[in-house]
Amino acid sequence: MIRNATMADIKAIHTLLSHFAAQGKLLGRALSSLYDQLRDFKVWVSDEDGGPEAGILAGSAALHVCWENLAEIRSLAVLEGFQGQDIGTGLVRACLAEAEALGISQVFTLTYQPGFFKKMGFREIDKNELPHKVWSDCINCPKFPDCNEIALIWEP
């Protein structure tokens, strides 16, 4: 089930993102940053109707509005045991639907997994095509200024 994140989800989101950040697969987020950006996040929670995996927060993604007509999909992560079930695809689609509802026609991502996003209709772009404003978070990144993430953009 995909839904908007709540305050009760923040620590689980932090744990999920930290897990993949430790593997170098995405950039981690500080707990305080997650609280600040709560409204950006969508989560996938396993069916809460019983079973051993009921109620597990197994996926997250955020749609972060950057500028007048530009947003970023960030913090996309799905626990290993839940991968291959279209959870990541569903989370990205939910973010893209929200962007469309907000009237945002360009959504980009910076990722180490470009193939996943290309399958969803994103195309690779040069990072220099993005406005300087999107780099405000990069200053605190341990990989700055030698970022090796791939930039992709979605334009319906």
> How confident is residue 143, by pLDDT bands cut at 50, 70 and 90?
low
Could you state, in order of their start, the residue ranges of all structural domains in the chain?
Answer: 2-154
Cα dist. 22→14, 61, 94 in Å? 12, 18, 26
Name the architecture of domain 2-154.
Answer: 3-Layer(aba) Sandwich (3.40)
Integer Cα distance of 60 and 47 in angstroms: 15
Reported as a pLDDT band with limits 50, 70 and 90, residue 48 is low
Q: What is the pLDDT of residue 54?
A: 63
Position 149 scores a pLDDT of 83
- For the entire predicted model, the pTM comes to 0.89
The predicted structure's pLDDT at residue 112? 87
Q: What is the pLDDT of residues 90-121, one digit of tens each?
A: 999 999 999 999 999 999 999 989 999 999 99
DSSP state of 149: P
